[in-house]
Amino acid sequence: MRLFYSTSSPFARMVRIALIEKAVPSVEPVLVNPWQDAPDLIRANPSCRVPALVLDDGTALSESQMIIAWMDREYPQPPLYNTAALALAGIAVGAIEAAAAIIIGRRATDAGFDTSAVGLRRRRSIVTALDTLEAQAAALERPDPDLAVIATVTLVDYLHFRFGGAEWMPQIARLDALSQRLRARPSFAETMPTEMPAQP
């Protein structure tokens, strides 16, 4: 199997964490820059988005939650999906999408996107999600991370990566502590978001 990913994508990171947690064998990581229309990535996902997972039989799966759902079926231990996890994961993924939309908006327009009507609405979505997750942080304390934990920590780390120090970010001490604790696990430590390396 081959996983197309970028080092900065929170959606790809969720899949990378799940692959490590489930010890899925024989997955070749393929680093791509989705902004550069990599031909192999387009073949795997016509939308040219990461992550994309190409299975051994050539079937290409795209979108993080669909890939993780496939993984949970094919590699059921440890399980990542349950009703409680889906409820909290949905909040976190919605905020990740809002954060990614701000980054895309900046690229499509200019730095003023953040304070545009759309940009401010995206910020509000992020803050509301963080406040909700912070209030429910006790529900994220479990021995093994499920989809809710993976999505929430991915959100927290991505926000610090892209918006660290922003005055509009709320205080999320409990979520920050959760993120710090999970960095002891290789799946989280090895997939921390970083800027994409320069492409040849």
Annotation: CATH topology of 83-185: Glutathione S-transferase Yfyf (Class Pi); Chain A, domain 2 (1.20.1050)
Is the N-terminal amide bond of 39 cis, ω within 30° of 0?
Answer: no
Sheet with strand 2-5: strands edge to edge:
28-31, 2-5, 52-54, 60-62
pLDDT at residue 27, rounded to an integer = 97
Residue range 2-78 forms a domain whose CATH class is: alpha beta
Tell me what the mean pLDDT of segment 169-176 comes to. 97
Q: Examine the pLDDT at 200 and tell me if it is beyond 70.
A: no
Residue 161, phi then psi, degrees to nearest 5: -65, -45
d(CA 121, CA 98): 9
Q: How confident is the model at residue 110 (pLDDT cuts 50, 70, 90)?
A: low
Predicted local confidence at residue 112, as pLDDT: 84
Question: What integer is the mean pLDDT of 99-116?
Answer: 87
Angular region, 3: left φ>0, alpha ψ -120 to 50, beta rest = beta
Sequence-ordered alpha helix ranges (H) in the chain = 10-21, 39-44, 64-74, 83-108, 117-135, 147-163, 173-182, 186-189
Provide the percentage of residues in the chain whose pLDDT is more than 90: 86
Domain boundaries, the chain: 2-78, 83-185
